[in-house]
Amino acid sequence: MTLPNFFYAEPRFRASSPDIAKLKGASEWTLDTPGISFALALDYYRVEAFATRKDRDAACGPTAHEDVQYRPASRKDIARGDITLDDIACGHAIDHSRFAEVLGPIFDAALKRLIGDVVEAPKDQGGIIATAVIPVARARYKISAVRDGDWIRFPVEGLAAFEKIDGELMDQTVTYLQDRLTLQMSPSLIGMKCS
């Protein structure tokens, strides 16, 4: 998958974090494990894409997690790190004028992977059969594929673990993602015939 011509910010993690030593000694992680906040941060913070250099630069610097900060990165840095669209977050919040432009390829890559996982899931498996995570403006949005009898539902939920995110913006983003899912999965748009 080709990386779009956006401006990127890469999360950097402090190697001297006291949490790292705690995690190295833990054979299994639970929410009570000392240092688990750093382990969660490693997965939570992702490379972010922005439409303009100015927006990217404004988002760089320290995050709410004391051991994480963002630095500017080029497309070459991202490609050299073997980072694909599946690993990239949309840096813009839904109220930014270029939000849809940046989210578009990220959403498409996540949906493609989710549908592939649904197709590969055992046919007799019930409940959640696949998930995809799309980070947007340092909040995480999880799309689940849930088998419910002969049907598959795709609920969307948002989570802000470290950053303080406006609840109304999160609700708007969830609604946007649900609407986009509905549009992209419409049988009339993908050439299927309804039975």
Q: Over its length of 195 residues, how does the chain's per-residue pLDDT go in tens digits?
A: 678 899 999 998 876 665 555 545 544 544 444 455 776 788 889 999 999 999 999 999 999 988 899 999 998 889 888 888 888 999 999 999 999 999 999 999 999 999 999 888 888 888 899 999 999 999 999 999 998 888 888 999 999 988 999 999 999 999 999 999 988 877 544 444 443
Is residue 122 domain-resident?
A: yes
* 74, 80, 86, 105 from 83: Cα distances, Å: 12, 8, 8, 14
- Give the pairing of strands 47-50 and 88-90: parallel
Angstrom distance (rounded) from CA 133 to CA 87: 10
Cβ atoms of 109 and 133 within 8 Å: the answer is no
Is residue 137 domain-resident?
A: yes
Which of 78, 83, 94 lies closest to 169, judged by CA?
94
Cβ atoms of 142 and 133 within 8 Å: the answer is yes
Provide the token pair at 139.
């909040």
Is residue 190 domain-resident?
A: no
What's the pLDDT at 67? Answer: 85
Is residue 1 domain-resident?
A: no
Residues 6+ apart with CB under 8 A from 152: 118, 129, 145, 146
Angstrom distance (rounded) from CA 178 to CA 160: 18
Q: How many domains does the chain have?
A: 1
Is residue 195 domain-resident?
A: no
What's the pLDDT at 66? Answer: 85
Is residue 194 domain-resident?
A: no
- Give the pairing of strands 88-90 and 68-73: unpaired
What's the pLDDT at 44? Answer: 87
Angstrom distance (rounded) from CA 61 to CA 176: 28
Is residue 192 domain-resident?
A: no
Q: Which pTM was predicted?
A: 0.83
Print the domain residue range for 43: 7-184
The burial of 185, by beta-carbon neighbours within 10 Å (0-12 exposed, 13-18 middle, 19 or more buried), is given as middle
Is residue 12 domain-resident?
A: yes
